[in-house]
Structure 1
Amino acid sequence: MRWFWKWYLWSEDWKVEGSFPYHLKKMVIIVAPHTHWKDFILGVAVRSAYRFTYVKFLGKQELFKPPFGFIFRWLGGTPVDRRNNNNLVEAVVQKFNDSESLVIALSPEGTRKKVEKLRTGFYHIARQAGVPIMMVGFDFKNHKVIFDEPFMTTENEAADFERITNFYRPIEGKIPEQGLMHF
């Protein structure tokens, strides 16, 4: 499949900017802007083509229902119930604590719709687990997948979120008006 995904990225003229930190055994990856279902295909393509298929992802539980739910599980997905407060942060932190190696990707918006602010679960997972956050941008305007340098959360949550929004603000998603440029 790696060669298929490499061909797909080449045929769609996607380029990668930055590099993936293969040396990190634990990390939370946030991928944005998430505005279209094609974001998932692009993520699978990059993950396979660049050989970091060990990266798991969190996705809405509706994706994991029959008849195609098994595909999302096979690809490394874990369903998330977004409607209930079910201690998801604590559960994922525990997974990090119990694992020697765990890299999880998710969308900081939590949806493909336009949001007025990012969700904070990813941030609290990284902070409580003591793992870095890496930002990845899907820039559909310039056909670039942008990897930023991983960073550790600080004592200043507002400054950390300013860093995150500054990274994503210029990146244009598949549906630009639903992106993060208004932050």
Structure 2
Amino acid sequence: MKRFASFILYTVLGWKLDGDFPREPKKYVVIAAPHTSWLDFPISILARMSSGIMINFVGKKSLFKWPFGYFFKILGGTPVDRSKTNNLVDAIVEIFHKKEVFRLALSPEGTRKKVADWKTGFYYIAKGANVPIVMATLDFENKKLKISEPYYTTDDKENDFAFIKAFYLNVKGKNPELS
């Protein structure tokens, strides 16, 4: 499957790779931005499959209904009921504590729509689980997937966010007007 995904992503679709998902550590949070199109998901799945590393994701509960629910679960998805008021950050931190290997991909925007500010859950998940953040982009303008080395948060949230956001400068999503 790894070769097939690589063939589709790099040969057929013409994407290039800068970096790769790290094998170590065995736990981290991947943040992928900008998230502006439904095409981000299949390209990300191909990238993950071509790397040979399982990276999980969470999605709104409605995505996991028939007929696609089983498919999303096979791909590593977990449904989340966003209508309930619960502490999702703590629940995900607990998952990190229980598993030996867990890599979770999130969109810091939390939506494909244009947002003024990123959600901060990914940051607090990484801090609470004591795991690094791996930054990933889908630069549609250059057809380039860029993946960072693991970044461990500090006690300075402002500087952490400045460092993280700098990784995404000049990256154009599929719909750049939504970035």
The TM-score with structure 2 as length reference comes to 0.95
Equivalent residue runs for 1:17-166 within 5 Å = 17-52=18-53, 54-166=54-166
Aligned length: 178
Contact residue 20 and residue 51 of structure 2 kept, 8 A? no
Deviates most, 130-139 or 165-174 = 165-174
In structure 1, what is the equivalent of residue 7 of structure 2?
Answer: 7
Tell me the TM-score normalised to structure 1 length: 0.93
Query: SS of the residue aligned with 1:7?
Result: helix
Alpha-carbon distance between aligned partners in 2 of 1:104 and 1:77, rounded to the nearest angstrom: 9
Alignment pair present for 1:176 and 2:176: yes
State the secondary structure of the residue aligned to 2:167. Answer: helix
- Deviant stretches of 4+, over 2 Å: 1-4, 81-85
Aligned Cα root-mean-square deviation (Å): 1.1
- How much has 1:81 moved relative to structure 2? 2.4
* C-alpha deviation, 1:20, in angstroms: 2.2
The answer for unaligned runs of 5 or more in structure 2 is none
Q: Matches of 2:69 and 2:106 in 1, distance apart?
A: 17
Distance 2:82 2:166 in 1: 26
Give the whole-Å Cα distance in 2 for the aligned partners of 1:61 and 1:168. Answer: 28
Question: 1:136-162 deviations in whole A, cap 9, x for unaligned?
Answer: 010000000001111111111111111
Q: What are the ranges of 5 or more consecutive residues in structure 1 without an aligned counterpart? A: none
After superposition, the C-alpha distances for 1:53-110 in whole angstroms (9 at most, x for unaligned) are: x211111222111221111111100112233331111011111111111111111111
